[in-house]
A and B are shown apart, each in its own frame.
Chain A
């Protein structure tokens, strides 16, 4: 049971706000030592695993292309695709944003949107403005809820879109983990199985966004 100490270290380290790389390394040492390995053996095991798993970080080679396109206005173009949706309700606006986020993440374009890039400057103000149109005396609690749902919609769209892209880190991690158990899989075999959950996520979260509209259409509280 002592080998589970690494998990405890991860929890405590994150709560204490330490650098996650540092926490992960400490957890590796605690776990290795608890299992009776000597410290140098843990260093070697980490080195071997890091070297074997280099392909997990290979995806960063896309950055020069994405950065270059951003230099020429990729984000602004994505933004005008969204701002073309005037007159929408908060719920409908967020449903459209959910679709855009899921589809773009599924194409590997995970960083064209996000809490800093699009939610704060763009989507949250638009959702808030739409909510004010629906409910002129918008209560503070409702205003907070609309903003929180905007951030939530970004997360749901990202998480349940990105795994459809074959070269995202999580798909490569699944491949690496199963390979360490002697099971060889191609990323495409994994990513197609992200599609049913992506559809379910759209239906469940979309339903909740429709209910948000109904709540805003009701009497002021």
Chain B
């Protein structure tokens, strides 16, 4: 049966290849830092379940230390120039989009048809299907485009280097959520919320969850950091357990309420401040200001969607 261990092995091997390619990239000023970072991540994916909590914790601290001291850079991965790409785009046309579409198509079809097949871990059907889709798309692209050997990995390294340490930020925020849960942060916020929500008032509870998601996101600059806190504080104890709401709707739309907060905060620098700088705007907050009139009504709509659909 295929499940997460096989998927982690694929990802671990890929990170190991990124580490190896970084190491042999002699034009790369920070190749040791990159090799160590992707190598440690490879170790986590290949052997994390054998290492024990303390060693895994040390791996995390090392990853953070490498990122926090600026040891990561961008390598000189072999790629093609703009002209060659334009020529290739003209030659191949819209067919180029096809292998990219194989991935989501396989992920959706696999989710619908592989469940209960006995071939795949039922709890992880989507992720396993995604992995199959990636391998399928890679095979199609290799057979059709006939790139030089290692080209796919070099191009993958080019992209992962441009993402850099941010590649593990969502996973780290999920881990922070776990520590917050252990320390009872959600309960502390929940206690405050309980004082605010009038007893038995479902609309007030939903509204506080939605505005709380947006507000926390504005403060922390990231909906990923706000979600675990508001889930523990309001979504699970009040909306799901007490009022019997649908967890899928509350979770999915709650995150989107957080995204409305992302649109309204300079703390989300990569989305709101970086483009203002890139576009040479005099007001650094011009993008945030342009987004508020979309974000606020959309936040109300999201709260409405949770209120109307999760309790029916």
Residue positions of A touching B, CB distance < 8 A: 1, 3-4, 6-7, 10-11, 14-15, 18-22, 24-25, 27-28, 31-32, 34-35, 37, 40, 42-77, 80, 107-109, 111, 115-116, 119-120, 124, 144-145, 147-152, 154-156, 159-160, 163, 165-167, 169-174, 176-178, 180-181, 183-191, 193-194, 196-197, 200-201, 204-205, 208
For the complex of A and B, 8 pairs with smallest distance between CB atoms: A67-B155, A73-B89, A47-B57, A47-B56, A49-B178, A35-B183, A64-B156, A43-B57
A residues near B176, Cβ cutoff 8 Å: 6, 24, 27-28
- The docked-state distance in angstroms from the alpha carbon of A159 to that of B274 is 16
Least CB distance from A183 to B in Å reads 5
Contact flag A46-B151 (CB < 8 Å), given A22-B68, A186-B125: no
User: A43, B168: Cβ atoms under 8 Å?
Assistant: no
Interface centre among A116, A152, A180 (most CB of B within 10 A): A152
Contact of B188 among A4, A52, A69 (CB under 8 A): A4
User: B236, A174: Cβ atoms under 8 Å?
Assistant: no
Contact flag A197-B279 (CB < 8 Å), given A22-B64, A58-B7: no
Contact flag A166-B111 (CB < 8 Å), given A35-B183, A197-B305: yes
User: A151, B279: Cβ atoms under 8 Å?
Assistant: yes
Within 8 A of A (CB), among B168-191: 168-185, 188-189
- The docked-state distance in angstroms from the alpha carbon of A159 to that of B257 is 11
User: A24, B99: Cβ atoms under 8 Å?
Assistant: no
- The docked-state distance in angstroms from the alpha carbon of A96 to that of B141 is 29
User: A66, B159: Cβ atoms under 8 Å?
Assistant: yes
- The docked-state distance in angstroms from the alpha carbon of A6 to that of B170 is 17
A residues near B4, Cβ cutoff 8 Å: 54-55
B residues near A64, Cβ cutoff 8 Å: 14, 138, 152-153, 155-156
User: B298, A51: Cβ atoms under 8 Å?
Assistant: no
A residues near B93, Cβ cutoff 8 Å: 77
Least CB distance from B305 to A in Å reads 5
A residues near B124, Cβ cutoff 8 Å: 55
Within 8 A of A (CB), among B67-87: 67-68, 70, 79-80, 82, 85-87
Contact of A194 among B96, B177, B252 (CB under 8 A): B252
B residues near A35, Cβ cutoff 8 Å: 182-184
Residue positions of B touching A, CB distance < 8 A: 4, 7-8, 10-11, 14-15, 41, 44-45, 48-49, 51-61, 63-64, 67-68, 70, 79-80, 82, 85-90, 92-94, 96-97, 99-101, 103-104, 107-108, 111-112, 123-127, 130-131, 134, 137-138, 141-142, 145, 147, 151-160, 163, 165-185, 188-189, 216, 219-221, 223-225, 227-229, 231-232, 236, 240, 247-249, 251-256, 259, 262-263, 267, 269, 271-272, 274-276, 278-279, 281-283, 286-287, 289-291, 293-294, 297-298, 301-302, 305, 309
A residues near B130, Cβ cutoff 8 Å: 58-59, 62, 166-167
User: B57, A31: Cβ atoms under 8 Å?
Assistant: no
User: B279, A163: Cβ atoms under 8 Å?
Assistant: no
Chain B interface, DSSP helix/strand/loop, else mixed: helix
User: A77, B97: Cβ atoms under 8 Å?
Assistant: yes
Contact flag A173-B170 (CB < 8 Å), given A28-B176, A196-B305: yes
User: B294, A72: Cβ atoms under 8 Å?
Assistant: no
Contact flag A201-B294 (CB < 8 Å), given A31-B180, A160-B256: yes
- The docked-state distance in angstroms from the alpha carbon of A156 to that of B299 is 12
- The docked-state distance in angstroms from the alpha carbon of A1 to that of B152 is 50
Least CB distance from B102 to A in Å reads 9
Contact of A46 among B52, B169, B175 (CB under 8 A): B175
Least CB distance from B268 to A in Å reads 9
- The docked-state distance in angstroms from the alpha carbon of A173 to that of B60 is 18
Q: Which residue of A lies closest to B63 (CB)?
A: A21
- The docked-state distance in angstroms from the alpha carbon of A56 to that of B51 is 19
Q: Which residue of A lies closest to B169 (CB)?
A: A20
Least CB distance from B272 to A in Å reads 7
B residues near A180, Cβ cutoff 8 Å: 177-178, 181, 228
User: A51, B48: Cβ atoms under 8 Å?
Assistant: yes
- The docked-state distance in angstroms from the alpha carbon of A20 to that of B14 is 25
A residues near B127, Cβ cutoff 8 Å: 55, 58, 167, 172, 187
B residues near A25, Cβ cutoff 8 Å: 60-61, 64, 68, 172
Q: Which residue of A lies closest to B289 (CB)?
A: A148
